[in-house]
A and B are shown apart, each in its own frame.
Chain A
Amino acid sequence: MNRVLDVVRVQLVNWRGIFAWPLGILALTLVINLVTFGVLSDDVPSNGRVTGSLVSIYIVMFVAHLQTITQVFPFALGLSVTRWAFYAGTTVLVVAQGLLFGLLLLLLELVERWTGGWGIGLRYIGLPFLVQDNLLLQWLAYAVPFLAFSAVGVCFGVVFKRWGQSGVYAVTIGAALVLAGLVLLVSRLGWWPAVGRFFTDQSTFALLAGYPLVIAVVLGAAGWLVIRRATP
């Protein structure tokens, strides 16, 4: 367990970089949106000032943890860390980061509400479908997608380390084929209305936190099976 915490500390050696990037991107997109809607204030009614820029901070986490595997993994193994300690430490870091950034978004959402959308009715954090009934659910709705995005990054990273670029292509193309097959199947069987009902019947909390958590756990476990035999 100590070794796992050592790995977390090694990953946080450059903690300014780890936290500055996502926060910087978040701040930058907020400013861009404020300026954009400030300029367009006459053209966009104040109840339509909704932006999807929030996704950028989630994408940053995807890239960050892709690099955790492609760059920190070879470094850590070079310094005699076991794959298990490295993967467990990375998991701890991913969960902690997700919860922390989720909390930050929760606080920003409150600020957004209190300031009437940053003074111009902008919905940047509290997007209509994201808003939950209570603070705990709201926190998890922001936090869990971080875990899912990070897990996807980790998975691409371990596939790259284990099988190289061709492995990444194979997995990407394979996933696309499976998806296309499913679409074809559903169309053939005429199940689209049922699929649509499934999604509308789910609560937004299930879609934001429930299923992403399942995805994160499944991908996280799959990543472990792959990294066990990966070489730095």
Chain B
Amino acid sequence: MNVIRMSGVTKRYGQVTALDGVSMELAENRIHGLLGRNGAGKTTVMQILTGQAFETSGGVEVFGEHPYENADVLGRICFIKESQRYPDFFKVKHALRAAELLYPNWDAGFAAELVDDFGLPVNRGIKKLSRGMLSAVGVIIGLASRAPLTFFDEPYLGLDAVARQLFYDRLLADYADRPRTVVLSTHLIDEVSDLIEHVVLIDKGRILLDEDADTLRTRAVTVTGPVTSVESFVAGRTVLHREQLGGFLRATVSGVPDRPVVGGLEFEPVSLQQLVVRTTQMNGPHNGRPVGAGNGGNR
């Protein structure tokens, strides 16, 4: 069953087209990775799916209905975004208590465990939290709310590697016990590649990939060898990336179902992260350029 359905969704902010005919369906009880560069449109997709922003055109269905002002649908959603605003006059415990009041599946015991795990000071004012602690508040609300559909939009800002691993471990363990639909938007693709079961790659407001993670992992391969051998091997295939060093060529190609044994060529698997990077770079001449790290362009 599909929890989310978007068909031909376009979103314009004045002259800027944030989403350009986005269509996708996300299945129930899976962990979906929503990947893409800064400003690609990830946050806009999630804002529209949670009724916080409005699509310019196209069809949006969450649990079979449009989410805007739909208490029935929204009551089953938790959306944790990196830029989530908390009232300045709240302490950590007030934010957690508010979440407890609003989420029917809230597990106070689990929340208390997570507070311990992350070493979060519940009596501290929200304004006095470090960036990492603020992210931890969102992560705890996202996990303990146990909403049937949970969005995490880059929830890890400021969290160190150990805390991020803690988040992934807790998410996976709780997901195994209580299956639900999770949409995780992230830049740290390598870190979550074992976690996500389905990948949606979005770039410049368009969907580039929409496939099972397992399929994607076997989809491309990097081949290295003398220029002439590699060139003859990749001829007729989609080359995602090529690097030449002297007489050696290293090419990433898609559409190689099994590893052929070809003399003088070396084959390596391509990580999800590399595949995403190369696919995105293929999508446009500007994609080799860095974009300021941080946030999407539509906050």
Contact = CB atoms under 8 A, between A and B. Distances in A.
Interface of A: 3, 6, 9-10, 13-14, 17, 67, 71-72, 74-75, 77-85, 228-229, 231-232
B102 A79 contact: yes
Nearest to B50: A80
Contact of B79 (A71, A80, A83): A80
A80 B87 contact: no
A17 B127 CA distance: 15
B256 interface: no
Contacts of A13: 90, 94, 97-98, 101
A76 to B, nearest CB: 8
Interface in B138-196: 141, 147
Contacts of B80: 78
B289 interface: no
A80 B98 contact: no
A74 B192 CA distance: 28
Contact of A75 (B70, B71, B77, B85): B85
Interface of B: 47, 50-54, 69-71, 74-75, 77-81, 84-91, 94-95, 97-99, 101-103, 141, 147
B90 A14 contact: yes
A71 B87 contact: yes
B98 A77 contact: no
B72 to A, nearest CB: 10
Nearest to B87: A71
Contact of B54 (A3, A72, A74, A229): A229
Given A84-B69, A231-B47, A79 B103 contact: yes
A72 B87 contact: yes
A74 B98 CA distance: 13
B224 to A, nearest CB: 47
Contact of A14 (B52, B69, B75, B89): B89
A67 to B, nearest CB: 7
B69 A82 contact: yes
A14 B52 CA distance: 25
13 contacts: A13-B97, A67-B87, A71-B85, A71-B88, A75-B84, A75-B85, A75-B87, A79-B78, A79-B141, A80-B50, A80-B102, A80-B103, A232-B52
Contacts of B95: 75
Given A71-B85, A75-B87, A231-B52, A80 B47 contact: no
Given A13-B94, A13-B97, A80 B75 contact: yes
A74 B85 CA distance: 6
A39 to B, nearest CB: 35
Nearest to B74: A80
A10 B101 contact: yes
B41 to A, nearest CB: 15
B98 A75 contact: yes
Contacts of A79: 78, 98-99, 102-103, 141
Nearest to B70: A82
Contacts of B54: 229, 231
Contacts of B85: 71, 74-75, 78, 232
A75 B86 contact: yes
A198 B147 CA distance: 58
Contact of A231 (B53, B77, B98, B99): B53
A166 to B, nearest CB: 14
Contacts of B77: 80
Nearest to A15: B94
Contacts of A85: 71
A18 B92 CA distance: 17
A82 B87 CA distance: 18
Nearest to B86: A75
B69 A83 contact: yes
A82 B89 contact: no
A31 to B, nearest CB: 24
Given A78-B81, A80-B147, A85-B71, 13 more contacts: A6-B101, A13-B101, A14-B94, A17-B89, A67-B89, A75-B84, A75-B87, A78-B79, A79-B78, A80-B102, A229-B54, A231-B47, A231-B52
